Amino acid sequence: MGAEAQYQANYDESKVPSYNLPDPLVMPGGRQVKNVKKWERKMRPATLHLFEDQVYGKIPGDLKMTSFRIVEEGKNTPYKNAIRKQVELLLEKDGKELRALMLMYLPETDQKVPVFLGLNFYGNHTVTEDVNVLITESWVRNESSFGIVNNQSNEKGRGVRTNRWAIQEIIDNGYGLATIYYGDFDPDRDDFSDGVHPFLYHYGQDKPRPNEWGALGAWAWGLSRALDYLETDPDVDASKVAVMGHSRIGKAALWAGATDVRFAVVISNNSGCGGTALSRRRFGETVQIINAAFPHWFCDNFTAYNNNEDNLPIDQHQLVALIAPRPVYIASAEEDQWADPRGEYLSGYHASKVYELYGKKGLPSPEMPAIHQPVMNQVGYHIRAGEHDVTLYDWQQYIRFANLHFLNR
Ligand code: GTR
């Protein structure tokens, strides 16, 4: 096969190669895991280790924010019955600084509220028309239709992504929303001199080692640091935080949910390759394609599986299994074939035996549900009409799923 053919994506189901998925409940030596204790003591750590070592990379140290500061709060928002907070998460170490700015909208109540937490792609000011929201100063990807010039956000971007964030619905249902621009933790470019990585370099080091974290690892780390703050906020019920992410940020949300069990619910929106899509299916985006286009997302060890998926010691259903027994929701879009909707569904299906070990119901059928027929067990799934995006329909299902698990209704 020539290099070009190797890079071509397959969209034909009949050309999906036959493959053998690793059984999430069979230990590397062949022993069957028969109970939760064995899963938690042996198989889960072994699985997590493989993802750290071969896919996302491990964090080579213990790194927490050094301070949190509320920089702004107010009731003058475009939303009914909502308050706004903007919180700076600051990391200071060895003369270096990393600042992440969290935007929160919370329903106005004296109760602690559950929260959806998700990173955003172009800055907090893009998710809302609210003129009080601060414009990010971090490096952003140029996007001419948002007026971004020289990788710098400006006023023109305000509100350009409101369609992806159903803020009023979230508030009306009694939830808060917390969001941070993902590039605050690591700008999305193949450059390891910026973002959080240098904070853990040894003397003379200028990039992570082959088994150390890439950008997805940095974004997942940032989600955990956001949760550290939420645990201190008296208005938030931090035992009820649903981490949600779209696309590359959906991959990061899954990895955050796998590595940090404090996340009570995990939601993957169109996360695709390196998210919930099974790598072995090689449908749409593949390991080779993603490593070529985004060499900074995964750890370098992951490139060993370019065009070599059958040798992966794990597959993405085991990433979902790492979230068990906590509720996980996987969403696909019909026209998002690049992300392989069937592969996204199947990872939930094949992870379900770990949920069953806990006596929880996952996705019992190997057949995908029809469009707009959500399944809401401990593993949830829907496929909606339309493209790669986050829509009001998606949010309505996430709110229903959260209601089911957080409020029993
Ligand atoms: C694409 C990439 C996908 C997905 C998407 C996104 O270019 O191939 O894996 O992450 O970007 O994040 O929007």
Instruction: Render pLDDT for 179-232 as a digit per residue (tens, 0 to 9).
Output: 999 999 999 999 999 999 999 999 999 999 999 999 999 999 999 999 999 999
Distance (angstroms) between ligand 1 centre and the Cα of 331 equals 15
CA dist., res. 274 & res. 316, Å (int)? 7
pLDDT at 408: 80
pLDDT at 28: 82
272 Cβ inside 6 Å of ligand 1: yes
pLDDT at 170: 98
Q: Which of 181, 166, 172 is nearest to 86 (CA)?
A: 181
Q: Which residues are catalytic?
A: 247, 388
For the chain, domains (ranges, CATH) are 49-407 (3.40.50.1820)
CA dist., res. 262 & res. 227, Å (int)? 8
**Mean pLDDT in residue range 3-7:** 56
**Mean pLDDT in residue range 123-140:** 97
* Confidence grade of residue 355 (pLDDT, cut at 50, 70, 90): very high
250 Cβ inside 6 Å of ligand 1: no
Distance (angstroms) between ligand 1 centre and the Cα of 166 equals 22
**Mean pLDDT in residue range 278-290:** 98
How many beta carbons lie within 10 A of that of residue 26, not counting itself? 12
Cα–Cα distances (Å) from 86 to 70, 100, 102, in that order, read 6, 10, 6
pLDDT at residue 249 tops 50: yes
pLDDT at 24: 98
Residues 6 or more apart whose CB falls under 8 angstroms from that of 202 comprise none
pLDDT at 1: 42
pLDDT at 215: 98
Distance (angstroms) between ligand 1 centre and the Cα of 360 equals 32
Helix-strand-coil split of the chain, %, nearest 5: 35, 20, 45
Kind of pairing, strands 96-107 and 176-181? Answer: antiparallel
284 Cβ inside 6 Å of ligand 1: no
Q: For the segment 304-341, what is each residue's pLDDT rounded down to a tens digit?
A: 999 999 999 999 999 999 999 999 999 999 999 999 99
Distance (angstroms) between ligand 1 centre and the Cα of 247 equals 6
Q: What percent of the chain has pLDDT over 70?
A: 99
Most ligand 1 atoms within 8 A of CB, residue of 164, 247, 269, 316 to mutate? 247
Task: Take residue 258 and report the two structure tokens written for it.
Answer: 């796998």
pLDDT at residue 162 tops 70: yes
Q: What is the dihedral of CA 290, 296, 299, 304, to 10 degrees?
A: 40
Most ligand 1 atoms within 8 A of CB, residue of 120, 285, 302 to mutate? 285
pLDDT at residue 88 tops 70: yes
**Mean pLDDT in residue range 73-87:** 98
pLDDT at residue 4 tops 90: no
pLDDT at residue 2 tops 50: no
Mean pLDDT for the chain overall: 97
Most ligand 1 atoms within 8 A of CB, residue of 294, 296, 337, 340 to mutate? 294
CA dist., res. 157 & res. 180, Å (int)? 15
pLDDT at 153: 94
Q: For the segment 341-353, what is each residue's pLDDT rounded down to a tens digit?
A: 999 999 999 999 9
The pTM for the full model equals 0.98
CA dist., res. 120 & res. 182, Å (int)? 6
pLDDT at residue 5 tops 60: no
Distance (angstroms) between ligand 1 centre and the Cα of 248 equals 5
* Confidence grade of residue 146 (pLDDT, cut at 50, 70, 90): confident
pLDDT at residue 3 tops 80: no
In residues, how long is the chain?
A: 409
Q: For the segment 262-271, what is each residue's pLDDT rounded down to a tens digit?
A: 999 999 999 9
pLDDT at 6: 55
Q: For the segment 21-55, what is each residue's pLDDT rounded down to a tens digit?
A: 999 999 988 999 999 999 999 999 999 999 999 99
